[in-house]
Amino acid sequence: MNQLINYDTAEMLVAHGVDVSGMSTADQCKEIFRLLGEELAEDGLTFTDVVNVIAEMEDMRERPIINQAQKDVWTDPATYPCRVILQRGGFKGGARLRLMITAAKGPHEIVNTDKGQTPTGPFSRVAVCGQRVIGSGVRAIIPGTQQRVSSDIRACANQCLTNLDINLQAAGSNIRKAYSMVVYLHNMNDVPTVMNVLYSWGLSESKMQLQFEYVDALNEYHDIEIACNAYL
């Protein structure tokens, strides 16, 4: 079976006794990726085995820095992992970012499609690991125009699910096969509205692991982003 292994760079810094507080954000990225490379190697893995990155940043305005750091690590766009990027603070080791990484110990395939929204950073849409499909977070962007569908949270949630379904279908799955989903919100008062949209798609917490997370900010300061994993 294809095993998924998780890494948390916040815990990694503590375990190695590394304090990066005196470094620039760019140098912090280099040090964090250096440590991550060592951890992957200990498990017999490389960066090409990474299928998902959840990047938490203290300041979303520094997103170009993490984008460049990822490009320096994954030099071939065909190997870009999936990603969610968000703003949140309070990291260990004096860091201004935290990466939560998932790597696949076994065969896996990165899948992209030209039918969905165009990625706005160095990441792929989905990764197939055995019978599981790992998906990048998506925002309420209309494919083709790359514009946000609306400021209305109901319309935004519906567009997010549409975009997720497009990406999953490219890998031979669909959103109704989702087994886990995380909804990132800037305003937690939007949870009931988003739940109603999920119900309209036939999705509910009784059919999958469903989690709502508050964030200080999302990419381009959108109000909602949704990520999910599904079975083939």
Give the domain extent around 23. Answer: 3-231
CA distance 60 to 231: 32
- Domain total of the chain: 1
Q: Taking a C-beta distance cutoff of 8 angstroms, is the pair 213, 185 a contact?
A: yes
Whichever domain contains 83, its CATH number is 3.30.1330.40
Q: Tell me, what's the pLDDT at 1?
A: 54
54-103: per-residue pLDDT in tens? 999 999 999 999 999 999 999 999 999 999 999 998 888 889 999 999 99
Compute the average pLDDT of residues 132-161. 93
Instruction: Supply φ then ψ for residue 95, to 5 degrees.
Output: -80, 155
pLDDT over 60 (residue 108): yes
Spatial strand order of the sheet with 108-111 comes to 108-111, 126-129, 132-135, 224-231, 178-185, 209-214
**Average pLDDT for the chain:** 94
State mean pLDDT over 129-133: 94
Q: Which helix (H) or strand (E) holds 105?
A: strand 97-105
Read off the pLDDT of residues 208-228 as tens digits, 9 standing for 90 and up. Answer: 999 999 999 999 999 999 999
pTM, two decimals, is 0.94
| Structure-model confidence comparison of residues 155 and 116, the more confident one | 155
Lowest-pLDDT choice from 46-60, 114-128, 187-201: 114-128
